[in-house]
Amino acid sequence: MKIAKLSLAALMALGVSAFAEVQNIKVSGDAKLFYGTQDADYEQVGARPARGDLFSDNDSYGQAALNIGVTANLADSVQGKVALTALSTLGLENNLVSQVWAGQTTNTVWWASEAWLAKTFSKTTVKVGRQELDTPLAFSEKWNIATNTFDAIVVLNQDLPETTLVGAYVGRGNGVNGMGVVRTTDNDGNTSGDFFRTYGSAIDDTLETDLASGAYAAGIITTAIPNTTAQAWYYNVNNIATAYWLQADVNLKDVLAGLIFGLQYANLNPDNKVDAAAGTSVDSSSGWGAKIGFDFKDALPGLKACVAYSSTDEDGAVSLSNTATGLTGESKLYTEAWWNYGYVARPSTDTWSVKVKYDMKDVAEFGAFYTSADQDTGKFVATPADMNEFALTATKTFGSLSATIAYIYTDADDQNYIDANNNGEWDQGEKSDSYNTIQLYLTYNF
C-alpha cells in the first residue's frame, strides 16, 4: 500500500513537473459513419444470402467509430499521445446493413489504439509505445473506419545530412487479414481485453503455423540526391520471412514543372521457414513498380494525374503486401487499387493503373481511378484471377464535417461467382460476374 501511495505521489509529482513545462496539450478526435452497399449476387462481405440489390440490408455494411486522443508537447522535446478507438454498429444491423467495416463484430468494442512517448536527444528521436507505423511492408492501413497500430520501439536519427535512419522493433500488432483490418477479440474470443498479438500472427494465421515472435525493421530515407527521395528498408519478421524494399521518387521539375517519376522494387523471402505449399520449397516473392505523374497546376490548378505499372515474379509464393495485415491487405505498390486490395501484389501479376484527381476550388475534390491486374499461372498460382476496377470519388468538406461518396465497378475472376449450373449454389470456380458498389464516408473532426 505504501509502495502504491509512493508511486502515486511520484506520478503526481512527475505530472505537476511535466505540466509546469507544458507547451501544448490537445484533446481532439473524430467521429465516423461509414456505409457501403453493392449489387453482387454472391456473398462478398460476410456470410449471408446476398440479394443482388443495392441498398438492401443483406448487401450492405455500415459502422460508426469514435476516436479521441490527447496529444501533449512537453518541455525538453518530449511528446506523447494517448488515444482510444471505439466501434459500434449503432444497431444498423437490425434493418439497414448485415456486415461491419472493421473488427468483424457487431458488438460495441473499444481499445487503446495509441499510447506513446517520444523524446528527442539532439538529432535522435526515440518513440516508444503503441503507435501507427508507415513503412512499405509494415504499416497502419487508413482506408477502413479503424486503423491497425503497433506496440513498437522506433529510433530515428538525422546526424547524416538530409538523411533519416530508422530502426524499429515491433513486438505486437492488432492487424488482421481481410476486411476487418483490426482484431477485436482477445485470445479467448472475448470482445474486451487485449486485442494485440505478437507481430507476425496475422501471417501466422494465414499459413497455419505458430512461429510469430515479433519483427525488426531498419530503413534509410535520404533526399541527398537533388530532387529525389530515396528509401531502402530491410525487415526480419522473426521465424517467418525477411524482406527488403527499395524506392526512389524523383521530382523532374528541371525537365518539366509538375512532372514526377517513381521506381520501386521489393523482395520478400519466406526462407523456407513457412511451408506455403506442403512439400514444395518456397521461393522468394519479388516485384517492381514504376509511375509517372503530372501536376497540371499551370494549365488547370488542382488537376493531378498518375500512370503506374507493376509486375511481380511468377515464382513467388506470397504477396508483397502489408505484413501487419497478413500479406493479404493493402500494398504500397504504386498500382494499388482504390478499393480491391490484395490483387496487384500477388505473385505472377502485371498491373496497370491510372489515377486522376481534381480539386475543384470551392466545389469538391473529385477522383477517378482505374486498375487492371492480370495474373498468370505461376509456381504457386494454380488458378489465376484477373481483376479490373474503376472507381469514382467526390469529397466535400463542410467545416468540420468531411463527406466522401464513392462508386466502384469491380470485375474480378474470384469475386461474385454466378450460379452457372443453375442449381441455386454459388460455387467458387464457376464464372464470376462484375458488380457495382456505392460507399458513403462521413467524418466529423472535433
Interacting residues toward other proteins by CB under 8 A: 19, 22-28, 30, 71, 73, 79, 118, 125, 127, 132-135, 142, 154, 156, 158, 162, 164, 166, 168, 219, 221, 223, 229, 231, 249, 251, 260, 295, 297, 304, 395, 397, 399-400, 402, 404, 441, 443, 445-446
What is the SS3 string spanning 263-281?
EEEEEEECCCCCCCCCCCC
State which residue, 211 or 246, has the beta carbon closest to other proteins: 246
State which residue, 158 or 213, has the beta carbon closest to other proteins: 158
9 sits in which H/E element: helix 2-20
Minimum CB distance to other proteins, residue 86 (Å): 18
* CB burial string 341-364: b at 16+ within 10 A, e below: bbbbbbbbbbbbbebebbeeeeeb
Minimum CB distance to other proteins, residue 134 (Å): 4
State which residue, 231 or 285, has the beta carbon closest to other proteins: 231
Nearby residues of 160 by Cβ (< 8 Å), 6 or more positions away = 222
Q: How far apart are CA 318 and CA 347, in angstroms?
A: 7
Minimum CB distance to other proteins, residue 100 (Å): 19
Q: How far apart are CA 157 and CA 300, in angstroms?
A: 40
The grid cell for 128 is 516508444
| CA-based end-to-end distance of the chain | 40
State which residue, 79 or 107, has the beta carbon closest to other proteins: 79
State which residue, 231 or 328, has the beta carbon closest to other proteins: 231
State which residue, 2 or 361, has the beta carbon closest to other proteins: 361
The two beta strands, 163-173 and 197-198, are antiparallel
State which residue, 106 or 353, has the beta carbon closest to other proteins: 353
Radius of gyration of the chain (CA): 23
State which residue, 118 or 211, has the beta carbon closest to other proteins: 118
Minimum CB distance to other proteins, residue 337 (Å): 16
Give rounded-to-5 percent helix, strand, coil for the chain: 10, 50, 45
Minimum CB distance to other proteins, residue 214 (Å): 18
DSSP letters for 360-420: ETTTEEEEEEEEEEEE--BTTBSS---EEEEEEEEEEEETTEEEEEEEEEEEETTSSB--T
State which residue, 162 or 210, has the beta carbon closest to other proteins: 162
Minimum CB distance to other proteins, residue 184 (Å): 22
Q: How far apart are CA 171 and CA 227, in angstroms?
A: 35
State which residue, 71 or 213, has the beta carbon closest to other proteins: 71
- Nearest Cα neighbor of 180 from 146, 131, 137, 142 is 146
Location of C-alpha cell 443495392: 54
Minimum CB distance to other proteins, residue 240 (Å): 22
Minimum CB distance to other proteins, residue 362 (Å): 12
Count CB-CB contacts under 10 A for residue 429.
10
- Does the CA dihedral 250-256-258-261 come out positive or negative? negative
- Nearest Cα neighbor of 137 from 260, 228, 269, 262 is 269
List the helix and strand counts (H, then E) for the chain. Answer: 2, 21
The two beta strands, 163-173 and 134-135, are unpaired
Minimum CB distance to other proteins, residue 106 (Å): 25
Minimum CB distance to other proteins, residue 405 (Å): 13
Minimum CB distance to other proteins, residue 96 (Å): 23
State which residue, 132 or 433, has the beta carbon closest to other proteins: 132
* CB burial string 283-313: b at 16+ within 10 A, e below: bbbbbbbbbbbbbeeeeeeebbebbbbbbbb
